Amino acid sequence: MKFCSVCSSEVKQRIPHGDNRLRFVCTTCETIHYENPKMVVGCLPEWQDKVLLCKRAIEPQYGKWTLPAGFMENAETTEQGALRETWEEAGARVEISHLFTLYNLPYISQVYLMFRAKLLDLNFSAGEESLEVRLFSEDEIPWDEIAFLTIEKTLRQYFEDRRKGHFEFHIGDVERRVK
C-alpha cells in the first residue's frame, strides 16, 4: 500500500495514537488503513461413502484436487459463502450439516472454515475454475495430488472421524507447507 484510497495522498507506516501496531496512515487526511485476515469458506460434499473433489483450472495448484472453497464475500454468512463456492466451482447443490474444521494460517493471514454438507443430487459439473469434478471413495483419494495442506488435513480428519463413527468440530493451525 502506497497511496490513500480516500484522497490519493501518500500513506506512511506509523503507530496511531492509542494503538500498538504499525498501520498505513494517510499523510494528508489521516485515514488509518487497517489490514485484516481473510476467511476462506467451503464445503466437504458427501454422497453415500464418497466425497466430491474439484480439479483446479486456475493457479495456484493448477491441475491439483481440492474441496470447493474460496474467499468469503462481504454481506454474506459463512454458510452462504460455502454454498456459493460449492455452486460456482462444482455446480453442486448441497445442504450444510455442520461446521467441521477451522484452520488458522497465520503466515498468510487466512482462516479456513470447512462445512460438512450433503450433496442433494448428482447433477454437478465443473465450473469455470475447475477442470473436472468427481466423487471419490476414501481409497480413491489422490493424496499426492491435493492442492492445499488445509484441504488434505480436513479430508484426513473426515475419514478418521468417520471410522470412529463420530464427527466432531476440529480447530487447529497450519504451518507453511514444506514438501
Select from 46-54, 74-82, 116-124, 136-144 the region that touches a second copy (CB under 8 A): 74-82
Binding mask 96-135 for a second copy (x = CB under 8 A): ---x--x-x-xx-x-x----------------x-------
Q: How far is the CB of 28 from a second copy (least distance, A)?
A: 12
8: contact with a second copy by CB under 8 A: yes
Residue type, 135: L
Cell numbers found for residue 4: 490513500
Cell numbers found for residue 150: 488445509
Taking only Cα atoms into account, the Rg of the chain, rounded to an integer number of angstroms, comes to 19
Please answer whether residues 83 and 152 qualify as being in contact, where contact means their C-beta atoms are separated by less than 8 angstroms.
Answer: no
3: contact with a second copy by CB under 8 A: yes
Residue 6 DSSP label: T
25: contact with Zn ion by CB under 5 A: no
Residue by residue, DSSP assigns 53-111 as EEEESSSSSTT-EE-SEEEPPTT--HHHHHHHHHHHHH---EEEEEEEEEEEEGGGTEE
Residues of the shown chain interacting with Zn ion in the complex, contacts defined by CB under 5 A: 4, 6-7, 9, 26, 28-29, 31
Residues of the shown chain interacting with a second copy in the complex, contacts defined by CB under 8 A: 1-8, 11, 18, 20-21, 33-39, 71-80, 88, 99, 102, 104, 106-107, 109, 111, 128, 169, 171, 173
